[in-house]
């Protein structure tokens, strides 16, 4: 298995398959997955004030507070093995989180490449219904989520683009074709970085 010399960030439209791609790439490149989901679920089960805040946030279908995400990201970077690359799955969603993560990675001398998996709105809605999640069964909620994503995550995408660190991937094709496109992009980036050091 080929190891990378940089971390990966996977963003994408709802139901775009970014989680699946992150899992496949994590296995292929021996990456450590960084996901906020389990971290939040663990704290939501707590009866602490922090747990109650998270529970209320999730119940209203809102993203976790930026301050909470900063704590999570800091902890994950601090405990990450220096010789093992990371794959951030679905985060950072908000621009302030992205700015914080970039500074954190730079502080720890970790390079990164971000991906955004694109999907047409009609396909997002179709996949959301197919997945049969109870909150996805309401079209209005799906559309609200899409609009929020476009507005908020769109700013994060532009931020990574401005840094020259973001690549778009067509998610509206077979899973393994998506993986192939991502791997080609990774290889191209790795070669460009290698040329800089020679």
Read off the CATH number of the domain in which 154 is found.
3.40.50.300
Query: Edge to edge, what strands does the sheet with 166-170 contain?
Result: 32-34, 86-89, 7-12, 112-118, 166-170
Q: Is residue 123 part of a domain?
A: yes
The number of domains in the chain is: 1
For 89, the domain range is 7-35+85-192
SS3 category, 166: strand
Model pLDDT for residues 53-79, shown as the tens digit of each residue: 777 766 555 667 788 889 889 989 999
How confident is the model at residue 47, as a pLDDT?
Answer: 72
Q: What is the mean pLDDT of the chain?
A: 86
The span from the CA of 111 to the CA of 130, in Å, is 37
Q: Is residue 119 part of a domain?
A: yes
Q: Is residue 198 part of a domain?
A: no
Q: Is residue 18 part of a domain?
A: yes
Q: Is residue 28 part of a domain?
A: yes
How confident is the model at residue 180, as a pLDDT?
Answer: 97
What six digits make up the tokens of 133? 């999640």
**The whole model's pTM is what?**
0.86
pLDDT band for 145, please (50, 70, 90 cuts). confident
Model pLDDT for residues 19-64, shown as the tens digit of each residue: 999 999 999 999 999 988 777 777 777 777 767 777 776 655 566 7
pLDDT band for 137, please (50, 70, 90 cuts). low
Q: Is residue 46 part of a domain?
A: no
Task: Extract the runs of DSSP E, i.e. beta strands, from the chain.
Answer: 7-12, 32-34, 86-89, 112-118, 166-170
């Amino acid at each position: 298995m080929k190891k990378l010399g940089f971390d990966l960030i996977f963003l994408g439209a709802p139901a775009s398959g970014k989680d699946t791609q992150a899992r496949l790439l994590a296995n292929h490149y021996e990456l450590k997955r960084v996901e906020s989901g389990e971290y939040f679920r663990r704290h939501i089960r707590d009866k602490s004030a922090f747990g109650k805040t998270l529970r209320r946030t999730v119940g209203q279908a809102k993203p976790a507070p930026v301050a909470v995400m900063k704590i999570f990201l800091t902890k994950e970077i601090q405990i990450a093995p220096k010789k093992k690359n990371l794959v951030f799955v679905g985060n950072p969603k908000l621009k302030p989180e992205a700015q914080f993560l970039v500074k954190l990675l730079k502080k720890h001398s970790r390079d990164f490449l971000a991906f955004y998996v694109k999907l047409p709105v009609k396909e997002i809605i179709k996949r959301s219904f197919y997945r049969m999640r109870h909150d996805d069964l309401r079209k209005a909620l799906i559309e609200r989520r899409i609009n929020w994503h476009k507005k908020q995550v769109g700013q994060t995408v532009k931020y990574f683009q401005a840094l020259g660190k973001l690549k778009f991937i067509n998610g509206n094709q077979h899973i393994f074709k998506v993986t192939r496109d991502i791997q080609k992009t990774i290889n191209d980036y790795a070669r460009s970085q290698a040329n800089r050091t020679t």
